[in-house]
Each structure stands twice: as C-alpha cells, then as structure tokens.
Structure 1
C-alpha cells in the first residue's frame, strides 16, 4: 500500500527515503533527543527504527512520516501514528508519536506535524481514539499532548514492557484524545 503524503503550512510529512537514515541516526545519536527514550546504541539499531516505520506503512497504510521543512531541511524528524505493539490495559490502540532533531526544536514543527497526523487519523482512518505515552518527567512532550487537546488518563499509568524492570524510563503516563476532540486542525499550505 502506498504511503500518503501530508502537507501543512510549513511541512511535508512524507514516506521514508534511503537518505533519511542519515538524519535519523544524527538525531537519535544526540543525547538531547534521547533524554526520555531508550538509547539507540548504533547505526544498525537506528536503521531498524526506519525499517519498522517503513514496514508499518506497508502493512497499515500509515505510520511515522518523515517531517521535511521545504527550503529548511529534508529531515527535521518524524511524526505519525502507529499501532501500539504490546498488550496493555488500553490496547488495541493507535498511538501518535514524534521525535525531532534538536536543531529544529522551538519552531512549532512538532505541533504542526502532530495536528496533521491527528487530522489524518480521525479523518481518513476514522479512528475513535488516539493515545500518546511518555515518561512522567518529559515536560516538553506532555505540554505538546495538552496543546493537542489530549488529556491524561490518571488511571492509565503503566510500565512499558520493552523497558527493563527498575529502569527510570519504564513508567509511562497515558494521554488520550477521542474523535471530535478539541485539537486544532492544521492550516493548509499556501
């Protein structure tokens, strides 16, 4: 199935290209990007992240899009929707996620890309709900979730199964947004 391309006022959310793996590794090898995420130890592991993103598109027709800012950069990061790959009290579910290169933080790209992904999820995919997760200490991502209109499920905290027991990144908070929620739709490109 062909991966769709989404456009916002400043971004193109597009399928992955071979050259994106360089930007992905640069981003994932930056400790600022990975502060609240399990480390990606080497280029091989980083390429597996891209492989999983491409595979999700092939299987489901949506996934984590590369965020390109035309005239600025071919790879600012990624943002999109994925099926949660583990069993938990809120699954099955589709999660919104993002990861941006620190060189492009503070420009509103993550918010703009996330709004486009939500619009796609609730519009084209007719999802009833989209979730987001992060560690409790990740104030930047939690603030973005709240800007998107997501609300924290106070009873939804859980331990991420892929993270070792006792690891400080194991505990996660859960945010939810129902279809018809109050997120702002992205502005179309000029």
Structure 2
C-alpha cells in the first residue's frame, strides 16, 4: 500500500472510515466553489468519487490520497494525481490537485501535502512533467502552485462549463534545479 509521511501528515489510500468526514468536506459550498463546476456532493456522490479515485490507483499506479493529520488522525482532505480527461488539449498529462476542509486552511497542510505528492510523481512514479489546473480567483491554490515552483503554461476555457482555467506545469529538470 502506498503511503507518504510528511512531518505533520499521512497521505494514504482510502478506507471506509474516510467517507463521512470526506462527505462533510464535499458538502461545504465554500470548499467546493473551485472544484469541478462548483457543486457540492452528497454522501453517495462522494462515495462514487472515492471509488473512481481508487480505480485510477489500480489503472494508473497513482491517484488521490486521503490526507490524515498525524497528530489527531483526522481526515483533513485530499491530494494527489489524476489524468485530467475533461481537458483533452493538455493530454497526455498528469495533474496534481488538493482539496481540504475549511477548518484546515491557512496552516500549510495543502502545500505540505502537494510537495510530497509532487516528489512522489517525479521521483517515485517517474513522471517527467506534472500540471495543475486552477480557476482565476482561486488565490489559495495559486499560492500553493507558486510554492511548488510551477509556472503558468496557458489559459484556456473549461470545455463543458465555459469558465476560464489556468494550466501550470513543472518539469523534472525544473524540480531538481
């Protein structure tokens, strides 16, 4: 089983006990406003998302991790890697993303988890390039992206929902520099 330990976090695969705390995160409109089309998810939709993430682990050898606080064992959120099939113009690509409960914002958890995930992608999984996709206005994610050393690659439009998107990237050579 793939696990990553950071000073404060455990990034791990999903288990049944994660569903309710994750559903609380995905039911929060404030948290979800930058995710997908901005819609909240109910318990069943959250379970379906976790199932898709686990399938991606099995198919691709990477996916989205559950992010647990080492001190308390609480589920703080999600971070990991996925293939952004909704945006064909960037394919083939692997995207890094994160989503945390609002009570865990402003404490550096997203940056810590994303940095560990980026190292996993480039060093453990042997990827040469990783992207991140954000929406203009998501300043917190843009801040994490800067901390990761990613640079803006292009601006585009979501092919289904029509809102603007920013695509950032980092190559293995840039990461190692």
Using the size of structure 1 for normalisation, the TM-score is 0.86
Counterparts of 1:41 and 1:79, CA distance in 2? 17
1:86 equivalent in structure 2: 86
Stretches of 4+ aligned residues off by more than 3 angstroms:
none
Pick 1 or 2: higher relative contact order, CA cutoff 8 A, min separation 6: 1
1:164 is matched with: 161
> Which of these residues, 15, 25, 28, is aligned with residue 27 of structure 1?
25
CA deviations on 1:151-181 (whole Å, 9 max, x unpaired) are 012xx212223x434xxxx221110111132
Q: Distance in 2 between matches of 1:10 and 1:171?
A: 34
| Kept in 1: contact 2:26–2:42 (CA 8 A) | no
Q: Is the 8 A contact 1:79 1:117 kept in 2?
A: yes
Query: Which residue of 2 is the match for residue 9 of structure 1?
Result: 7
Partner deviation per Cα, 1:78-101 (whole Å, 9 max, x = no partner): 101112223532211000000001
* TM-score, length basis structure 2: 0.92
Q: Distance in 2 between matches of 1:164 and 1:110?
A: 26
Cα distance change, pair 88–115 in 1 and its aligned pair in 2 (3 A): same
Instruction: Give unmatched runs, 5+ long, in structure 2.
Output: none
Aligned counterparts of 2:175 and 2:81: Cα–Cα separation in 1? 18
Question: Number of residues paired by the alignment?
Answer: 175
Contact 2:79–2:98 (8 Å) recurs in 1: yes
Aligned partner (choices 162, 170, 175) of residue 177 of structure 1: 170
2:128 corresponds to 1:133: no
- Structure 1: where are the runs of 5+ without partners? 185-190
Shift of 1:138: 0.7
CA RMSD of aligned residues (A): 1.7
1:42 is aligned to 2:38: no
Q: CA offset at residue 74 of structure 1?
A: 2.7
Aligned residue number for residue 119 of structure 2: 119
